[in-house]
Amino acid sequence: MRSLRLFLVENHADTIKYMQLFLEQLNYDIRVAPDMATALRDIPNSRCDVLISDIGLPDGDGWQLLEKLGSNRPPIAIAMSGYGTGNDQQKSHAVGYSHHLIKPFTPEVLLAILRDAEKLRGDQT
């Protein structure tokens, strides 16, 4: 079975670099974008299984990104944000994110979600 394809949208240089390296080390196929415009351009052709997106982006936010993707949105979407108020979490779930991770989070938290996603994909195929 092929590994999960991930698409990471994050504008913090160190975070994007180390998350990408970490996930590649675990054999995930990962693509990245530093802003919403790049993500909107690249996601439709990426055939990714999971979108992991920061909520605060330089040219918009993660909520707008998912809405603008429309039918091109990946089956699973995970939001990341430094702000974790009830409203933020509700908004993430309302637009279609299955998880809202509050920064900082441990790598294990993300891995657990990705393993569930793999399992879910395995059950569907």
Partner 1 sequence: MTTRTPGYCDLLQEFGFPAVKIKTTDGEVIEYNNLFSRLVDPEAVREPRRWFTDCVRPEIAAADRDRWEIAFSKRTSVQAQVSFGPINGQELDFEMRCFAEPGNGDAIICIFIALTGPILERLFDAHTAKGCDLERKRIRDELHKGISQQILGAAFAWKILAHKIETLNGSLGKEASDLAALLNDAVRDLQNLMRF
What is the smallest separation between the CB atom of 102 and partner 1, expressed in angstroms? Answer: 6
Q: 């993430």: which residue's tokens?
A: 92
d(CA 36, CA 10): 9
Between 97 and 116, how does the x/- string for binding to partner 1 read (CB under 8 A)? -----xxxxxxx--------
d(CA 42, CA 27): 21
- Amino acid 57 reads L
- Is the Cβ of residue 60 or residue 84 nearer to partner 1 in the bound state? 84
CB 6 within 8 A of CB 52: yes
Residues 71-90 that bind partner 1 (CB under 8 A): 82-84
| Number of residues engaging partner 1 in binding (CB under 8 A) | 20
Residues that bind partner 1 in the complex, under the rule CB under 8 A: 12, 14-15, 17-19, 21-22, 25, 56, 82-84, 102-108
